[in-house]
Amino acid sequence: MSASAADVSRRRRAPALDVAVVGGGMVGAATALALARAGFSTALLEARAPAPWDAAAEVDLRVVGLAPSSLALLNDLGVWTAIREARSGPYAHMHVWDAESGAAIDFDAADEGRDGLGHIVENSLVQWTLWQALDAAGVRRLCPAEVTGFEANEDRIQLQLADGETLSALLLVAADGAASPLRRLAGIGTRGRDYAQRAVVAHVGTERPHQNTAWQRFLPSGPLALLPLADGRSSLVWSLPEAEAQRVLALDDRAFLEELGLASDFRLGRITSTTPRAAFPLKLQLAERYQADRFVLLGDAAHAVHPLAGQGVNLGLRDVVELRDTLLAARTAGRDIGAAHVLRRYARRRRSADTLDALGFDALARIYAWQSPALVAARGLGVRLLDRLTPLKRRLSEHAGGL
């Protein structure tokens, strides 16, 4: 037997993993943990391990509003209690108002028979807690690791790693972020638009307590959100045109506090303190498909959305649940979990749901960008009407919560 034939024979005999997950962020780590807990042999490949989360450190500027669907998944994975007890800001109310028309809409958990609408939690805390749970669940962590190529065969997919090693699995899951190198290697394009905006983020102290309420004001320049943190401060997410964001970042603290107070309509009184600020670009990006041969996308690799509804990570975690349930159903039926018809079910369901949500958020951003008096008046009338239509408002809240 020739050397090359012997290599092929060894690869065919080598036991494949069930799933290789590339990307160790919140969604990738949750995917690996969920699949391992479901009994699939799983490896997680990540270029850099997350920094340990430190309760004594300043609160991470990147926070996520975890919806009930996400809390249910994290609880199912056995990590939510640790996250909640470490540091989380529950909120039971949401107040959204329009700076131009004055129209407002309120959501209240008690009106819907729920304990809360969600929790504001640091990205780094969620990622670190998930990362810490991987070993006990039997996930094979490969870090640092970089996938430089892959090839799908009839019964498995073969990954080439930067260190020269290879790894085979029945399925490759790309959770490697919005710039996803694996998505490019798979030949999957994207569509969407650049909002030409940046989200300015900081944590701010306010004269009045946040009342466990998420506050969001729609300004002509973009939405401004003040989200309740566990320590009594609020996390600011202020979407601004690129040039305006740079100007706001360059303000000294005193000028920034004054300008933010005006922009927030002093809803929580004066802004009394701020952390250093940061900003990140905003765009709408949807993968043209979620599936290739023995390959699927999820999380930001599949979709990036406007932060105005705070749903980016929640959509990614719903991808995790759908993929886990799809693979479990396939295994129960005795099917190959990497087969095209199995992955097609996941891809069809999640791409449809993600696209509907992403375009809905985009439409909302466009509607609130209307400037003409007639359109502003129509927008205000619509918001006031929606606030009175309790059943429809409840349905919207339940959809946002993944319920």
Q: What is the pLDDT of residue 110?
A: 84
Do residues 236 and 202 lie in contact, with contact meaning Cβ atoms separated by under 8 Å?
yes
Q: What is the pLDDT of residue 83?
A: 97
For residue 2, being part of any structural domain is answered with no
For residue 12, being part of any structural domain is answered with no
CATH number at residue 375: 3.50.50.60
**Between 83 and 384, where is the model more confident?**
83
pTM of the model: 0.89
Q: What is the pLDDT of residue 397?
A: 59
For residue 1, being part of any structural domain is answered with no
- Percentage of the chain exceeding pLDDT 70: 90
Q: Is the pLDDT of residue 306 over 60?
A: yes
For residue 5, being part of any structural domain is answered with no
For residue 4, being part of any structural domain is answered with no
Quote the mean pLDDT of the chain.
Answer: 89
**Between 25 and 311, where is the model more confident?**
25
Our count of domains for the chain comes to: 1
pLDDT digits (tens, 9 = 90+) for 187-232: 999 999 898 899 999 999 999 999 999 999 999 888 999 999 999 9
Q: Which two tokens stand for residue 316?
A: 């990614």
pLDDT digits (tens, 9 = 90+) for 312-346: 799 999 999 999 999 999 999 999 999 999 999 99
**Between 187 and 7, where is the model more confident?**
187
Q: Which long-range contacts (CB under 8 A, 24 or more apart) does 257-265 make?
A: 257/204, 260/204, 260/236, 263/217, 263/219, 263/224, 263/238, 264/215, 264/217, 264/224, 264/226, 265/97, 265/99, 265/217
Q: Is the pLDDT of residue 33 over 90?
A: yes
Q: Is the pLDDT of residue 257 over 90?
A: yes
- Find the domain containing 308 and state its range: 17-400
pLDDT digits (tens, 9 = 90+) for 76-127: 999 999 999 999 999 999 999 988 788 888 888 887 778 889 999 999 999 9
pLDDT digits (tens, 9 = 90+) for 237-250: 999 999 999 999 99
Q: Is the pLDDT of residue 401 over 70?
A: no
In SS3 terms, the chain reads as CCHHHHHHHHHHHCCCEEEEEECCCHHHHHHHHHHHHCCCCEEEECCCCCCCCCCCCCCCCCEEEECHHHHHHHHHCCCHHHHHHHCCEEECEEEEEECCCCCEEEEEHHHHCCCCCEEEEEHHHHHHHHHHHHHHHCCEEECCCCEEEEEECCCCEEEEECCCCEEEEEEEEECCCCCCHHHHHCCCCEEEEEEEEEEEEEEEEECCCCCCEEEEEEECCEEEEEEECCCCCEEEEEEEEHHHHHHHHHCCHHHHHHHHHHHCCCECECEEEECCCEEEEEEEEEECCCEECCEEECHHHCEECCHHHCCHHHHHHHHHHHHHHHHHHHHHCCCCCCCHHHHHHHHHHHHHHHHHHHHHHHHHHHHCCCCCHHHHHHHHHHHHHHHHCHHHHHHHHHHHCCC
For residue 281, being part of any structural domain is answered with yes
pLDDT digits (tens, 9 = 90+) for 150-173: 999 989 999 999 999 999 999 999
